[in-house]
Amino acid sequence: MQETDKIWMNGELVDWADAKVHVGTHALHYGSGVFEGIRCYETEKGPAVFRLRDHLERLENSAKVLYMDLPYAREELRQATHELIAANGLPSCYIRPVAYYGYGELGVATTGNPVDVVIMSFPWGAYLGEEGQRTGITTMVSTWERVGPNVIPHVAKATGIYLNSMLATTEARRAGYDEAIMLTRDGYVADGPGENIFVVKNGTLLTPPLSMSILPGITRDTVIHLARALGYMVEETLLIRTDLYLADEAFMVGTATEVAPIRAVDDREIGVGPITLELQQAYLDVVNGRDQRWSDWLDVVATSRTPAEV
């Protein structure tokens, strides 16, 4: 992780090295936190956070599912994010807000624990690599099932649920693949450890519905909008693993990953297709502020180098 100057911690900007937690922190023991992964891009108007309000809304939803009362309103967290980006002075960065049950009681119930909120911002390149974005990534269907809706709520971007993702990613990397794909208990395609999945078949985009144990991805939603605007049909439908093997094209999407072509699944070659590359380009144009039709999704940050603009 590349360090930056400041971290926003419970209402204050503190030095990177001072943003510490106690070892008795509830979330460290039980994974009782919620978080977001957001990107800020360098645009002509200055640094611009992509769909910041939507990410903060998902953070609120995640907190609600965990019975957690966030001590800051959405607008306060939005301002805090702006303040942090301006303080760290990076033209583009990854933003990681996390809210968690802090230090108080060590019982599994959360009573008696404060809710702490932290926001980090630091530079982070393409999650699955620049090369992967161009030539495609290799994937394997994980032996780990995606958690079911009554196991841990997948709708919440909760820290504890990422043990599921960590196991799948680690298994895939150890086996020599770039990324894992997780299936539900019934064998339907869910999502990747940190990405949603799309398949192209006969010119139509197919992606699992929200009920298939997926995180309601903001990139997924963005890509659905962009694909429809480009004239493609998009269907949210159940997919099985052979739909991946026999796809004309397949790709993964996520804030960290952006749009990454899947060039192989379980050693069945798919290759990198034109619709994937078209959507990848469309996505990069939108997030970098090169397509004015979607400029409402960009939350421009006022910094010392850019005029105040909200």
The dihedral built from the CA positions of residue 284, 288, 290 and 294, taken in this order, carries a sign that is positive
The C-alpha atoms of residue 179 and residue 175 are separated, in whole angstroms, by: 10
Helices (H) and strands (E) in the chain, counts: 8, 16
274-287 and 218-229 helices cross at what angle (nearest 10)?
110
Judged by beta carbon, residue 9 or residue 156, the one nearer ligand PMP is 156
Instruction: Give φ, ψ of 21 to 5 degrees.
Output: -125, 160
- Smallest separation, CB 250 to ligand PMP (Å): 15
Give the footprint of ligand PMP on this chain (CB under 6 A): 37, 157, 165, 191, 194-196, 214-215, 217-220, 254-255
Q: How many C-beta atoms surround the C-beta of residue 73 within 10 A?
A: 11
- Smallest separation, CB 37 to ligand PMP (Å): 5
Give alpha helix (H) positions in the chain.
Answer: 26-30, 52-65, 74-88, 130-135, 162-174, 218-229, 241-245, 274-287
Instruction: Give φ, ψ of 23 to 5 degrees.
Output: -65, -15
Instruction: Give φ, ψ of 3 to 5 degrees.
Output: -75, 145
User: Quick one: tokens of 213?
Assistant: 């144990």
The residues assigned a catalytic role are 157
